[in-house]
Amino acid sequence: MALFRYKAVTPAGEVLEGQMDAATADEVIVKLQDAGNIPLEALATDAADAGNPLAALFRPRGFTAAQVVQFTQQLATLLGAGQPLDRALQILLDLPESDKAKRMLERIRDTVRGGAPLSDALEAEHGVFSRLYVNMVRAGEAGGSLDDTLRRLADYLERSRELKSGVINAMIYPAFLVGMVFLSLFILLVYVVPQFVPMFRDMNVQMPLITKIVFGVGSVLQSFWWAIAAVLVFAALWLARQYRDPDTRLKLDERVLRTRVLGDVLLKLDTARLARTLGTLLKNGVPLLSALAIARNVLGNTALAQAVDQAAEEVKRGTGLGFGLAQAKRFPKLALQMVAVGEESGELDGMLLKVADTFDTETRNTLDRLLALMVPVTTIAMTVMVAMIMMAIILPIMDLAGSVQ
């Protein structure tokens, strides 16, 4: 049994908060529903940071991506339970812990009470809700199924967040490992190796080539580390500035897509993003051309975004989406074939979501393989470099010992 913190709405429309012992969060939800309440949230106390002052100290104050997902899920639940929109927004006002989020929800509620649709109220919160989010809500309002639209939107946001988190989490350990390798080598070359230079010089030891190279690298790093750091910072700033130029960024993105490993991962990742966004928009009644204009903005690679723009032009001429995407010769053949099958069967939205699931899985599998390969390769590289440094120190000592005998 674990302790869960829950929030629910009573039949009278009041927010109910408390804690409950249960085996799972689903059990908490069932008990709340059996009591006639509408569950909004059921979190284990450790996941909810209960009793943890450090977690409370570092809790974000703004409306984060996770809070947008939570807001969407809770609003869909309340609307599905028959609550009017303004009443649902009023109930949600009691849930955020940050003043910034509460003020934003108050503005949305007041705009809706003034007669504006929810999509306009969300659009007025510039930068908080994406263009995709607002357009899906607008489509749900037009179709009279806002609660279903919000459920699909929450699922889309949650899956997108999981994919992004999976990529970031997969890269944390390799990045940490590589950083530790460079830090260890820097310490050895700058602080350890120079300790032996005066000793060997005083003893007139004949140093082999590998020792001269290692000592030379250590001397350069020790004397000019600040210049090397300045060059690296300047190069990073220059590259960032170049990347802001549209033409330069397009060329760099095209080059990245042609690389074997990195390009393959980024292509699968953006294919999954595009397919899930398009599928979700189409399922909610957004026209294909509008969906393409929105979906291109989720792509991180400008070369792929350009390919989507070209596909949109082909669609305007009356051709299919699969044919339009195939003209750019950038997207995976499997994805194009699945899109073509979806168009032929009249189930394009569902097939696009299957494409997204397929390439989500392929992205995770590729990252897992790269991680499994990177760890031993990095370890071997570090071992070899440390061994070379140790040899550079030991060989002169062995020569000195042999000459003494």
pTM: predicted TM-score of the whole model, two decimal places:
0.65
pLDDT at 15 (0 to 100): 64
pLDDT of 78-137, one tens digit each?
A: 888 888 888 888 888 877 777 888 888 888 889 898 888 898 888 888 778 877 788 778
Q: How confident is the model at residue 59 (pLDDT cuts 50, 70, 90)?
A: very low
Last residue of a domain, one of 139, 160, 181: 160
pLDDT confidence of residue 200: 78
- Give just the sign of the alpha carbon dihedral 284, 290, 296, 298: negative
Whether residue 181 is found in the same domain as residue 114? no
Give yes or no: residues 129 and 195 share one domain.
Answer: no
Classify residue 229 as exposed, middle or buried by CB count within 10 Å of its CB (0-12, 13-18, 19+).
exposed
d(C-alpha 244, C-alpha 233), whole Å: 17
Cα–Cα distance, 376 to 367 (Å, whole number): 15
Note the pLDDT tens digit of each residue in 215-234: 888 888 888 888 988 999 99
Confidence band, pLDDT 50/70/90 cuts, at residue 46? low
| Alpha carbon distances (Å) from 118 to 98, 134, 302, 373 | 22, 9, 32, 49
pLDDT at 57: 35
> Which domain range does residue 54 map to?
2-160
**Whether residue 137 sits in one domain with residue 52:** yes
How many distinct structural domains can be found in the chain?
A: 2
168 falls within a domain: no
In a domain, 165, yes or no: no
For the beta sheet containing 15-22, the strands, ordered from the edge strand earlier in sequence to the opposite edge, are 15-22, 2-9, 38-44
Among 101, 127, 160, the domain-final residue is 160
Residue 358 has what pLDDT? Answer: 92
- Per-residue confidence (pLDDT) for residue 183, from 0 to 100: 87
Q: 3-state SS of 215-249?
A: HHHHHHHHHHHHHHHHHHHHHHHHHHHHHCCHHHH
User: Looking at this protein, which amino acid is placed at residue 251?
Assistant: K
pLDDT higher than threshold 50 for residue 5: yes
For residues 206 and 183, membership in a common domain is answered with yes
Nearest CA-CA partner of 58 in 67, 46, 49, 70: 49
377: which DSSP letter? H
pLDDT given at position 11: 64
8 A C-beta contact, residue 271 and residue 335: yes
Assess whether 139 and 235 both reside in one domain. no
pLDDT band for position 13 (cuts 50, 70, 90) = low
Reported as a pLDDT band with limits 50, 70 and 90, residue 248 is confident
Q: What is the pLDDT of residues 108-117, one digit of tens each?
A: 889 898 888 8
7: closest CA among 99, 79, 73? Answer: 73
178 and 133 part of one domain: no
Out of 104, 131, 160, pick the residue that ends a domain: 160
pLDDT of residue 12: 59
Report the candidate in 184, 172, 197 with the shortest Cα–Cα distance to residue 383. Answer: 184
Task: Flag whether 342 is in a domain.
Answer: yes
Residue type, 202: D
Do 110 and 188 sit in the same domain of this protein?
A: no
Count the Cβ atoms, other than its own, within 10 Å of residue 188. 17
Whether 243 has a pLDDT exceeding 90, the answer reads no
Query: Does residue 145 belong to any structural domain of this protein?
Result: yes
Q: Are residues 145 and 184 in the same domain?
A: no
H helix count then E strand count, the chain: 17, 3
- Does residue 309 lie in a domain region? yes
Same domain, 154 and 202: no
Whether residue 130 sits in one domain with residue 229: no
215 domain residue, yes or no: yes
Location of structure tokens 């489509």: 139
Q: Is the pLDDT of residue 16 over 80?
A: no
Quick one: average pLDDT of 319-328?
90
The two structure tokens encoding residue 197: 């230079």
Residue at 166 is within a domain: no
Looking at the fold, whether 315 and 371 belong to one and the same domain comes out as: yes
Average pLDDT for 11-30? 73
On the question of pLDDT at 188 being above 80, the answer is yes
Q: What is the CATH number of the domain that holds 103?
A: 1.20.81.30
Neighbours of 272 (CB within 10 A): 24
Residues 231 and 366 in one domain: yes
